[in-house]
Amino acid sequence: MTPNVQTMPMAKALNAGLRKALGDDPKVLLMGEDIGPLGGVFRITEGLQAEFGPNRVMDTPLAESGIIGTAIGLAMGGYRPVCEIQFDGFIFPGFDQITSQLAKMTNRHEGQVAMPIVIRVPYGGHIGAVEHHQESPEAYFAHTPGLRVVSPSTPHDAYWMIQEAIASDDPVMFFEPKSRYWPKGEVNLDSHDAPLHSSAVVREGTEITLVGHGAMMSVLLASAELAAEEGTSVEVIDLRSLSPIDYAPIVASVQKTGRLVVAAEAPGSFSVSSEIAATVTERAFYSLEAPVLRVSAFDAPFPPAKLETTYLPDADRVLEAVDRAMAY
């Protein structure tokens, strides 16, 4: 049988994944600001309230703490809420509910209370927006025990990962790279063989490994193409999951290539990139031919939009790190 493969942007893939989850399970609910008739700021929920009704796709007040707190109560009542945070920087009014309550509720009740809640967070730069609209706060949540943290980089992964996240009995922070909402890609609607918390080798190489997630993947793949033109064979790995991290493909790759560059849009200090660098150094020290290098945004607040291309890592900065690693 020929698989059902369609070409669509990530925004449409997420919409299709949410529609599938709503149709499969009457306990799945969507909650968020302007997600009803408007379909959300990025139109991810477009048409879903008309199809499933206002009791399943609910517009909420502008109150992130209230959204998360209500979702916790619904989860305790047997529902599976999916909360949309309008922009990454708006999540902090709900931070206390997420880290003090949601992340700890199951442990507090010795496993007797499940928290099947997904919090969708559009994040990252490259959209020319103002302060609090382009940040990458994923490390706050990856640092918090009790939360699962994932980020798709392709429409195919977005379609399947949102459904897997909704099916999880643990809370999942679902970070969506907003700059990748509209580039199109193929989505196999019939099958997906990558578990939610797995890393994936998306380009094979032999001399150096590049690791990243979300919107950074397009930069790393472009960097690998440019490096190949200069004669350097680059392997590229998509993290997909930030907590837990699937280290097996990363360590195996570093044992083969001997070099690792980790890249992310978030500031580099105390970051997911820092954790990967430390863990790979522990697990593959004797395979390393060079120090693990990090390429990141600067340790400063996100600047005005006209400076975002200076602030965010690009292919030039990744290739500079590749050259430094290859020089050892």
208-220 residue pLDDT tens: 999 999 999 999 9
Is domain 200-326 given the CATH code 3.40.50.920 in the classification?
yes
Catalytic residue (choose from 133, 156, 197, 213): 133
**Cα-only R_g, the chain:** 20
CA dihedral 150, 318, 136, 57 (to 10 degrees): -50
Q: Report phi then psi at 205, rounded to 5.
A: -155, 180
Model confidence pLDDT, tens digit, residues 282-306: 999 999 999 999 999 999 999 998 9
pLDDT band (50, 70, 90) for residue 143: very high
324 sits in which H/E element = helix 315-326
Region 5-188: CATH code:
3.40.50.970
Domain boundaries, the chain: 5-188, 200-326
- Residue 278 tokens read as 């430390």
- Residue 203 tokens read as 């380009």
pLDDT band (50, 70, 90) for residue 130: confident
Whole-number Å distance between alpha carbons of 268 and 175: 18
Q: In terms of Cα–Cα distance, which of 44, 207, 68 is closest to 141?
A: 68
Write down the pTM of the prediction: 0.96
Average pLDDT over the chain reads 96
Are β-strands 184-188 and 5-9 bridged in parallel, bridged antiparallel, or unpaired?
antiparallel
Model confidence pLDDT, tens digit, residues 95-128: 999 999 999 999 999 999 999 999 999 999 888 8
Active site residue 133: yes
Residue 38 has pLDDT above 80, yes or no: yes
Equal fold, 5-188 vs 200-326: yes
pLDDT at 256: 98
